[in-house]
Chains A and B, each alone.
Chain A
């Protein structure tokens, strides 16, 4: 009896372990099966490089959204990476201990704030701010980039901080002993040694930025055309899916799912890069 129970539970545990494999497989299958035929019908080239998206005229080119996602993500990196990296250096090497106890929970909290709240904050604060500063409609690529830059901060900070802390203290001490100042020791020996960990954090941030949906929709303007300037509206792949899925039918709906497939492929590539870098950090 006891033996039987052991075997049954072993099978239960094994099955549970298989669930995550099954989930990834199911996600791939369902997305590709539903998305690829639409791409074929529209034509791969036309779908990926067409710059007109007019579902009512059966024009399905998602280049504007691919570019939109890339631009907004790049903008988020320009805003988020320098600040995030320097904050991580601060937390790991400059921060007085009592202050650390106050700041760290805030940064953890930052990671937990729902993206709708970020989006709403962007809508109520950043959009009017951009409108006043530049005299344009405030729903712009700039607004989305700044907001996303803020949202990826906690990701970059926590990964970068961990990898900076993992650098052996000898590096720092050696540099000090050679007469370098504290700042130069940190920036010229410790930070370069943590390079691959920091890169991993940045890539994780890219993944978050490119996949972010709600916050972007609420501030980016969402015009379905090729973005042509920082102060113009932009629509990302994620925004395109959420905006139109509600009423889309037939090929239109499938084209949206195909947009999801393209996004998914982007994410898989980013994931792959991340795990390669992570393995490098460990080794």
Chain B
């Protein structure tokens, strides 16, 4: 029976190549077709045009910002101290790194552990799992300004953490939690069950299996999720204005008010006096985002290739 299926599959694969051979239409044939059905040609033109508009829009944005910004990347912008003369972005850049690390430190373990529970421990049809999924979906859809409001009400006011690095980091941690959870879940799910069975068969316990066998094979997937989260943290503004404040000095401790690079850029462009510096800041932000995107893509692709090999 099994043999029959494979042979028929092979046959269909072979006939598919033949069909595509017959189906290849020459230019002349296509023109005749379009002449007969002008609506098809209009659709074709519309589709190509839309794709062109999309690519042109993003391309124009990138090129415009880069051309305007790169000449303004002066050493003054990377002075240790910020003042209204030099508009240095270095403190904001360093704060962005602090903010990112702190948020990931909070959201990373929680997101990964939650995903471990959902994939490795929860039984199928567990009510809790669907509730967690729904709440995670809800969190994904909440706009950043609502996170900002919540952070202001909860961390800044109710817990009395004031406008601080810590308040901002916790707010952002909640914001990126669903991202980390979902990507970790997917990564864990794609680890073949035979790994787990092998580990159990050798006498390892559940915990050992999770930490020694399953997690290491899911690392690239988890990493690409964390990088994705980094991108969101670096680009975030609305959630931080009323939770982390806007002091343009390097944060001294967890409770000092800070501004990250995105907030810095918003404040610069709002004032309207420092457009050139804002362009330069935009370039730095764009470079960061491009690097982050590239890294996430690269790791995800490598992960896909690895699982394909298995």
Contacts and interface: CB of A to CB of B under 8 A. Distances in A.
Nearest to A181: B40
A120 B205 contact: no
Given A106-B59, A109-B289, A183-B43, A16 B146 contact: no
B237 A109 contact: no
Given A17-B117, A109-B289, A120 B51 contact: no
Contacts of A212: 143
B114 A257 contact: no
Say what secondary structure dominates the interface of chain B: helix
B177 interface: yes
B60 to A, nearest CB: 8
Interface in B107-164: 109-114, 116-118, 120-122, 128, 131-132, 134-139, 141-150, 152-154, 158
A13 B236 contact: no
B178 interface: yes
Given A20-B136, A103-B51, A30 B114 contact: no
A6 B207 contact: yes
Contacts of A94: 44, 47-48, 51
A260 B50 CA distance: 35
Interface string A86-97: 110111001100
A138 interface: no
Given A17-B114, A218-B269, A275-B137, A153 B54 contact: yes
A260 B279 CA distance: 31
A176 B242 CA distance: 57
Interface stretch (B77-85, B190-198, B217-225, B290-298): B290-298
Interface string B276-292: 00110010011001101
A136 to B, nearest CB: 19
Contacts of A125: 64
B53 interface: yes
Contact of B297 (A2, A105, A238): A105
A271 B265 CA distance: 31
A28 to B, nearest CB: 9
Contacts of A157: 54
Given A20-B181, A184-B39, A213-B238, A113 B141 contact: no
Contacts of A5: 207
Contact of A117 (B114, B146, B153, B285): B285
Interface of A: 2, 5-6, 9-10, 12-21, 23-24, 26-27, 30-31, 34, 82-87, 89-91, 94-95, 103, 105-110, 112-121, 123-125, 150, 153, 157, 176, 181-184, 186-187, 204, 207-208, 210-214, 218, 238, 241-242, 245-246, 257, 260, 263-264, 267-268, 270-271, 274-275
Interface of B: 23, 33-34, 37, 39-41, 43-44, 46-51, 53-55, 57-59, 61, 64-65, 68, 109-114, 116-118, 120-122, 128, 131-132, 134-139, 141-150, 152-154, 158, 174, 177-178, 181, 205-207, 231, 234-238, 241-242, 262, 265-266, 269-270, 275, 278-279, 282, 285-286, 289-290, 292-293, 297
